[in-house]
Structure 1
């Protein structure tokens, strides 16, 4: 009962439980129905294919039987004894006896023949052999005559025609097969032989096929052209009239809709649902039907459906249990939340919401808390506004006005004790601002304000606020425990704040602490002082806590710029590539800068950057190859670096690159000169006036210098190299008979023939004429 009361009292739990339960019931039911529907469709399709195969085989068997009868009819029709019986007007008695005997022999030789009749047109006479035909007083003869000569219907030839020969109740006992001298329908003006085929021979074949293939699950019918249905159970003659009409209507509708010669249709026949498969036999004009009881056909499906429903029922029971368990698991967090809410809810409120569900109760509590939070948030916004106003524009308020505002908004600032202002700034703020998204910045600022206020408020009355995104400002009031040393515990508390923020958010904070003030209007001045002190982390390093006493030397110093001698020596050392001297001058410069006021520090470092940049420009103007130094970065160092030490290391690194880049300058220049000399010789070898002196004049160097430089580098003189180039070109031109030797000399820059011949023979071992002759012979 307790469990029932528990579930009855939890309206939301009931909703969840019933929703899951109904969903499972719907899914399981739909799955079961779908499976049985798919199974039924599959059985129908398989049965249709099977039935069509059976009907195709039956059609083949009927065609085969028809072929047998056709062969027999051709044989009979060509028999001489029977021909005379068909066409002679007056047949002798002995010929008549022979003809009858021949008919008897044919009947005895074929087991499927019931009887045989010959129709003689000229005599309008029928001749038959059976005892019934001969001894019944002409009844059988008259019946066949009336059927054969009835002009109300046409009788096809060479086809099986169902008929009642010996019975009067309409039962089909034979199939007539009319043979004439043409394939046109029988006319009374033709003589013919009529073979009567035993109905057993046709229907027994169909019945055996039905038994073998379908396990006697259905009944096979033949629908003749007149619309009558003939059953394979020939004792039933034909289907009852009502059933025949129903089958005919089903067939006609389906064949009109599908316009196909085969298919299946399902409908009511004789008060029971049946499946009719049909196949049109266009040769004989029949339609072969296979009628099956739908209930018997779907016995396995029905059994499977029952089993499926039983299994689905079992799973439904399991799903109900699972729904209850799952609903409680999903409800458990809500129950825990409700228990917490009930601890803070009055009895009156509980009874008020007892008739409503749990979500309404939590919604009401949420609205109450939201209203409360909005009130608190609004008050906090106003309080933070006045705190920021005190920090930036406190001189606009009188002491009494500020005291009144502190009391009105219940700010945690002492009204009678001394105050000081602490500024916590984020180190490397540019990188922090670049790599941190807006939402994360808000989270970090909120966290830092709360951490700072919580830690500091443990000892001193304190208000904390975030300013400009990169700093947290604390207004700290004197504690009653500070009797001798005022604010002696502020620095350790600030160190705790720094370590906590570093541990949780990996942010480094530098702090500036103002002087103690006693009047509220001085808060803005104290804030500016603390903000300026925090900037001196450029000297003290990241994460430092700075008071006015720590930078007294910087504030009292009179020197605010570097001596000209340091800047001059630095520039000269750079130009000479003397890295040791450069390092000494930079070290002197930064030791002096460390004692400057903050703004003068940045100005002095920027000036050093300009000196290095200008010296680098002069060096590159006097070099052939450039020095790989980013000139723009030199001016960005004061903004990119946080401390003087980082600025010193950056400038020292750039100076090292500049000095290192000057070492190979002479070597590069000599290589450029040598390459220029060789290029000039290659281009102007045909110039008679080309010489070492002309080349020296072109490259703006002395002849002796380039001669020594070339000789030391390539181990040959410029003149020897020039002759070597000219003789190689002369060798090529001599291979062409288009030029005379004098023309070759002129094109290669030689004016003296004997001098040219001597040089050519010395290099190639033959005179120019001999060389040309050898080349022409070869």
Structure 2
């Protein structure tokens, strides 16, 4: 009962448990019924296939039997010994004896024949072969005569007709096969032979096929075109006319629905559900029926269904146990949550709400809404608090001392009075790069984290309020309650360093801090904020993660110098032009040493002016050089904007000066290559000038002839004169191959005045005189 009470009090647990249990029950029952339905359907299909195979075999047997009887009937009809018995009006004794012997011989040769009779219409006499026909005093003869000569029923010829010869109950015990010379229905005006076929010969073979299995599966019947049923045994079930009519109706309707000559239909026969398999026309106008008890056929399916339900019931019990365990496991986190939540309303109120239809989740949602409302109120109050703190910092003159005290008390701000107050400004270093490479959501996270971490670490020692301003810096208002005069250096500075270290460790962010002087009046908060913010700007001088107090920048704020001496700028420019890196570095260091003493607002202007000095020097160097320097001049102006500390600016400009001085060093290889390229270009332009020589070329390029000759020989391993002759001879060769000029004209066009000298050089170069060379080229 105690466990029941536990589950009864947990409405959500009840729903989870009932849902899981119901789902399992539905799934298990559905799968069980689906399996048995599919099994029953499969069994029907298999049984139909099996029955149709049996009936197909029976159809073949009937067809074969019908063919044998047909051939036998034609043979008998044409038998010469039986013709007198059929047609003679007066029959001699010997013909009668021979005819009877012939009939006996035919009976002995055919095991399926029950008997045979011959009707002689001329004598209106019937002759038979059976013992009953001959010895029972004419009873059998009269029965045959009445059946055969009944004018109300004309019998089809060459058809199997069920008859009763010996049974008193009128049930069929043979098939009659009437044979005449014509194909029309038999009449007593013509002679005929009637062959009686043993019904057992047909039905026993069917029964043997049916009984091949472990037990009898059903009854095999034959139905004529009127729906009458026949079998070799007296089966009371099918004797009723209503039953025969019902089976006939089932088969007729199924044939009409499917249009197939064979199939199966399920229906009630004598109050029992049965499966009726049929095949029409195994022999003309006959239908084979296979009637089976449906319950007997589906006994195994029923047993399987029962077993399946038993298994499903067992699994259901197991599923219920699992569902209880699983439901509790799923409910356990909710139970833990309910135990941890402390509701704000009284216990009685909570109980009444639960009894009114709510469950655990409803109670949690109500509590959540209440907490959410409370949180919203706290958030709104927090926003208002931060608003007033920002107003104190930026527009402190708007408030009187009394107003500020009232607002602090009203909103519960953690600012103590009367007590000295310090304002700390925490700024993100390299903020421009941070702002351009950080997502907005991450910026909000960082701002929230820095504000809370700084406040939590500072509040351990002193009352403190923290607020974020403009996204790039955090303000800490620290109240020095009962603090000694050395509190700033002994306590505040170590805490600020811990804050810097913590933020860097967790978020890889660098913070610099500006610290104001101690403030004794609340109305001076805006002044303290301005002072701390101004001090934090001097990160430009002191570098990243510095903590800057007013004493550290006192000299900078008092310094009125706004520029460096012109001598430093002039010496720096001259050193760059001369390529003297050492002197340039010394002057640059002097300049930045002076920058470090300037007021913050004058530093950027002074550094920018220095970059203009360097740029003018670079422009002048590039204008006077023969070869260009691979240097981007406009980049110089971006250095003061890209760098945030004097150290970074100094290192960037120092590297720039080193690049400029390195470019000032003369390159002998570059100079010599340029001179030689100029000489070669000059030779190719003036090769036709007779006065072109090493001396004239040296005079043109302003070099001595020996120096130019040595330089050319060292570079190309050929003298300058040999190169001139090489160029001239190549032009002469081209003119000999492609022009009609005379040899002397060609010699003059190539800068030669002496024919013998030209011929000797040409033959030494190409192995033949100019005339011979032209002749060889023309022939080839």
Alignment partners' CA distance in 2, 1:180 and 1:576: 146
> Could you say if the C-alpha distance between residues 133 and 707 of structure 1 is closer, same or farther in structure 2, counting changes exceeding 3 Å?
farther
Any idea what SS the aligned residue of 1:305 has? helix
Alignment partner, residue 428 of structure 1:
430
SS in structure 2 at match of 1:212: coil
1:454 & 1:201 partners in 2: Cα distance? Answer: 111
Which stretch of the first structure deviates more once superposed, 429-438 or 11-20? 429-438
The alpha carbon displacement at 1:235 in A equals 5.8
Q: Does 1:145 align with 2:152?
A: no
The aligned counterpart of 2:265 is: 265
Deviation of residue 386 (structure 1)? Answer: 0.8
- How far off its partner does 1:423 sit? 0.7
Cα offset, 1:383, TM superposition: 1.3
1:172 equivalent to 2:172? Answer yes
Q: Distance in 2 between matches of 1:206 and 1:422?
A: 113
> Given that residues 745 and 751 in structure 1 are in contact (C-alpha distance below 8 angstroms), is that contact kept between their aligned partners in structure 2?
no
Partner of 1:315: 315
Q: Could you give the per-residue CA deviations for residues 546-600 of structure 1, whole angstroms, max 9, x where no partner exists? A: 1111223332334333455555565666667665565555444433333333343
Range that drifts further, 592-601 or 302-311? 592-601
Aligned residues: 764
Give the match for residue 451 of structure 2.
449
Specify the SS of the correspondent of 1:489: helix
Identify if the C-alpha distance between structure 1 residues 134 and 362 changes in structure 2 by more than 3 Å, giving closer, same or farther: same
The Cα shift of 1:421 comes to 1.1
C-alpha distance in 2 between matches for 1:637 and 1:562: 18
Q: How does 1:657-696 map to 2 (within 5 A)?
A: 667=669
TM superposition shift of 1:108:
1.1
In structure 1, what is the Cα distance between the partners aligned to 2:690 and 2:209?
119
Q: 1:497 aligns with which of 499, 521, 539?
A: 499
Alpha carbons of structure 1 residues 310 and 706: separation in structure 2 relative to 1, 3 Å = farther
Are 1:750 and 1:756, in contact at CA under 8 Å, matched by a contact in 2? no
Q: Does 1:468 align with 2:470?
A: yes
Partner of 1:39: 39
Q: Which stretch of structure 1 is more off in the superposition, 558-567 or 308-317?
A: 558-567
Query: Hey, what does 1:376 align to over in structure 2?
Result: 378
Measured at CA, do residues 452 and 307 of structure 1 come closer, stay the same or move farther in structure 2, by a change above 3 Å? same
The correspondence of residues 392-411 of structure 1 with structure 2, limited to 5 A, is 392-411=394-413
**Within-5 A mapping of 1:581-620:** 583-607=585-609
Given the superposition, is the C-alpha separation of residues 404 and 139 from structure 1 closer, same or farther in structure 2, using an over 3 Å criterion?
same
In structure 2, C-alpha distance between the alignment counterparts of 1:269 and 1:116, rounded to whole Å:
37
Report the Cα offset of residue 422 of structure 1.
0.6
Structure 2 equivalent of residue 303 of structure 1: 303
How far did residue 338 of structure 1 move?
3.2
Contact 1:413/1:477 (8 A) holds in 2? yes
The answer to whether the 8 A contact 1:394-1:523 is kept is yes
Alignment partners' CA distance in 1, 2:206 and 2:83: 34
Contact 1:73 1:179 in 2 (8 A): yes
1:719 and 2:702 matched: no
The CA deviation at 1:92 is: 5.8
Moved more, 669-678 or 465-474: 669-678
Q: Could you tell me how far apart the structure 2 residues matched to 1:120 and 1:583 are?
A: 154
Q: Partners of 1:618 and 1:73 in 2: how far apart?
A: 139
Stretches of structure 2 that go unaligned for 5 or more consecutive residues are none
How does 1:113-152 map onto structure 2 within 5 Å?
A: 113-118=113-118, 128-134=128-134, 136=138, 138-146=141-149
| Residues 1:211 and 2:215 are matched in the alignment | no
Tell me: CA distance 1:487–1:702, structure 2 relative to 1, closer, same or farther (3 Å): closer
How far does residue 48 in structure 1 lie from its aligned partner after superposition?
Answer: 3.0
CA drift of 1:380 comes to: 1.8
For the residue of structure 2 that corresponds to 1:443, the secondary structure is helix
Instruction: Look up the match of 2:197.
Output: 197
Conserved? CA contact 1:726–1:748, under 8 Å: no
- CA positional deviation for 1:644: 3.0
- Backbone CA RMSD of aligned residues: 4.4
Deviates more, 1:214-223 or 1:703-712: 703-712
Deviation at 1:56, TM superposition (A): 3.0
Deviates more, 1:638-647 or 1:538-547: 638-647
TM-superposed CA distance for 1:534, in Å, is 1.5
What CA deviation, in whole Å up to 9, does each residue of 1:672-727 have, x standing for no partner? 78779889999x99x96799799x99xx9679799876654333444244246446
Whether 1:247 and 2:247 are equivalent positions in the alignment is yes
Q: TM-score, normalised by structure 2?
A: 0.83
Q: Alignment partner of 2:355: what SS?
A: coil
Q: TM-score normalised to the size of structure 1?
A: 0.83
- Displacement of 1:359: 3.1
Distance 2:435 2:249 in 1: 87
Partner of 2:556: 554
Preserved contact between residue 231 and residue 238 of structure 1 (Cα < 8 Å): no
Match of 2:327 in 1: 327
Deviates more, 1:650-659 or 1:260-269: 650-659
Q: Determine if contact 2:62/2:283 at 8 Å carries over to the other structure.
A: no
Contact 1:275 1:293 in 2 (8 A): yes
Alignment partner of 1:766: what SS? coil
Partner of 2:101: 101
The range that moved more, 231-240 or 360-369, is 231-240
Shift in CA distance, 751/12, structure 1 to aligned 2, threshold 3 Å: closer
Q: Do the aligned partners of residues 177 and 768 (structure 1) sit closer, same or farther apart at CA in structure 2, a change above 3 Å counting?
A: farther
> CA 1:104 to 1:487, structure 2 compared with 1: closer, same or farther past 3 Å?
same
